[in-house]
Amino acid sequence: MRKFVHAVLLLSCGILAAALLPAQTATREPVNLKLFVSPLVGPDADLTKSIRAKLIGDLEKHGISVTGLKEDADAILTGSGLMQAATNFRGRPHIHVLGSMRLVNKNGVALWAEDVFSSRYAVSESASFVGKITGKVVAAMAEESKRRSSEPVAQRIKETN
């Protein structure tokens, strides 16, 4: 009897997982916009270069096309930040990354702006910081791409001139 109950529970979990899997693996609409990531501003030049490089890599991994030329970009990501030393919940030294980020389209209209910070419990503060930014930028770029694809062709021609 006990084995039967375990088998039924295991089967139920498998069916539930199979039902939820398609929702988790839904593909995102492709973003056909190019992004320029401006050099970040901050007191630690090495840290800002490192975070920018991680950010570009993470954005590309999530399907965002990053360009090296500002003139070729449909959107521009700018930001400034700093690093603060603190102690974590166990009393150990901890670095906290804070930044103000802004994403604008080529006309200067803000698509997203927010103060971003690394997670208090992150193993890698810079990866936590970059991950938060990437999620917001990917969502904002997808919205902009959707908006552009739904507007009339005449409006898009006017925007490029």
Nearest Cα neighbor of 78 from 60, 98, 47, 101 is 101
φ/ψ region of 108 (left if φ > 0, alpha if ψ in -120 to 50, else beta) reads left
Nearest Cα neighbor of 78 from 102, 53, 107, 108 is 102
Fold of 34-160: Double Stranded RNA Binding Domain (3.30.160)
Residue with tokens 């939820």: 20
Note the pLDDT of residue 89. 75
- Helix then strand count (H, E) for the chain reads 4, 5
Locate the DSSP E strands across the chain: 34-37, 65-66, 75-87, 93-105, 110-117
Beta bridge partners of 97: 83
pLDDT in tens, the chain (161 residues): 566 555 555 545 455 455 544 444 334 556 789 999 999 998 888 888 989 999 999 999 999 999 999 999 999 999 998 877 777 777 877 777 889 999 999 999 999 999 998 887 777 888 889 999 999 999 999 999 988 888 775 555 555 55
- What pTM does this model have? 0.72
**Residue pair 77/65 in contact by the 8 Å Cβ criterion:** no
